[in-house]
Amino acid sequence: MKKKFAFLSAALLSVGMLLGACGGSDNAGGDEDFKTDLQMGTGSTGGTYYPLGQEMANVMNDNVDFEDFNVSAVASGASVENLGGIYQGTMQLGMTVHIPALEALNGEADFEGAAVENFGFMGHIYPEVMQVVTTENTGITSIADLEGKRVAIGPAGSGTQAAAKLILSAYGLEDGDYQAFEEGFGDAAARLQDGQLDASFGLLGLPASNIEELAFQRDVVLLPVEGEALQTILDNSDYGHLEIPADTYEFLDGPVDAITAYAILVGSTNQISEDLGYEIVKGLYENVDSISHPQGVHLDPENILNGSDGLPFHPGAEKYFKEQGIIN
């Protein structure tokens, strides 16, 4: 059994808070209550999920052929909050890193003791890469140097924060060993530029526009996840290893070791019917050419199952995948 990192149970947006708030819904995680006016949880406005989610919602609204269908993409704390929203019935669709989705299903980490089972995989969105950013004037050259520093670790309940704490722990840095700021990467990049932060973690696509913009103002440094710390992460989590190519950003002198996961779309199984789920997947993935966001190129039917291992399919998505010969 894979070792659990102690920090996981200490996330501020715990399942107790998420699932304990279910008083706002009379049908949390329960019986069928199919809807056509849907809420899709994305992420913070300065990250990748929110603008990409807005475009995905536009594609769905333009192409999903279903009576009274409408979907609104809403800003959120990302992965954990979106999965919790689906459990509560306040969201019907959500963008999430595939690892928190597995944890939700299995009642682990932020979801320990309270499994979320009323959701299904609906498709791959894009590969996410943890990018640890600082500026040259800080003198920071390693993640180990973040001890005592001002570090943005991502919003509570986000995949970024979970991965950031995983990395920091692998380098021997626990809560209290650094000054943690829980904010999205967009806000953090502005504070890096102003010298109000020393470093920021961002689980983002490649290349990340906020990093490119920051590099116009400051000498940017990407800190590698490497050596024993990288091996510890690979041995004790579902993250993979990826080299950020040197040509990703103009300021890079060579490739940078990082960890990676998949961003995926999940949907409620008790609030989205099989028929509507089918039309959502069909309408989205057959019309992705109209998405202008740089990460939209990964919304390709050839990649559609990436991040699905270990997760149940939404019945509507499963019907579409079988019809297209993607699964048997």
| DSSP states of 120-138 | EEEEEEEEEEEEEEEEGGG
Tell me what pLDDT residue 10 has: 34
Given a contact cutoff of 8 angstroms between Cβ atoms, the answer to whether 119 and 267 are in contact is yes
* Burial of 31: CB neighbours in 10 Å, binned 0-12, 13-18, 19+: exposed
Tell me what pLDDT residue 27 has: 60
Given a contact cutoff of 8 angstroms between Cβ atoms, the answer to whether 168 and 152 are in contact is no
Given a contact cutoff of 8 angstroms between Cβ atoms, the answer to whether 231 and 239 are in contact is no
Give the Cα separation of 55 and 263 in Å (integer).
Answer: 15
3-state secondary structure of 317: helix
DSSP 5: P
pLDDT digits (tens, 9 = 90+) for 232-247: 999 999 899 999 999 9
Given a contact cutoff of 8 angstroms between Cβ atoms, the answer to whether 167 and 259 are in contact is yes
Tell me what pLDDT residue 19 has: 52
Tell me what pLDDT residue 304 has: 96
Give the Cα separation of 255 and 225 in Å (integer).
Answer: 12
* Burial of 290: CB neighbours in 10 Å, binned 0-12, 13-18, 19+: exposed
Give the Cα separation of 239 and 245 in Å (integer).
Answer: 18
Q: Which of 55, 61, 48, 51 is nearest to 291 (CA)?
A: 55
- Positions of the chain with pLDDT lower than 70, given as ranges: 1-27
3-state secondary structure of 311: coil
3-state secondary structure of 92: coil
Give, for 180, the enclosing helix (H) or strand (E). Answer: strand 179-181
Tokens standing for residue 65: 């052929």
In whole angstroms, how large is the CA radius of gyration of the chain? 19
DSSP 154: -
Please report the domains of the chain, with CATH numbers, ordered by start residue: 6-125+263-323 (3.40.190.10), 128-261 (3.40.190.10)
DSSP β-ladder status, 220-223 and 119-135? antiparallel
Q: Is the dihedral of CA 48, 50, 55, 57 positive or negative?
A: positive
Give the Cα separation of 125 and 328 in Å (integer).
Answer: 22
3-state secondary structure of 243: strand
Q: Which of 180, 123, 128 is nearest to 159 (CA)?
A: 128
Tell me what pLDDT residue 182 has: 95
Query: Does the predicted TM-score (pTM) go above 0.75?
Result: yes
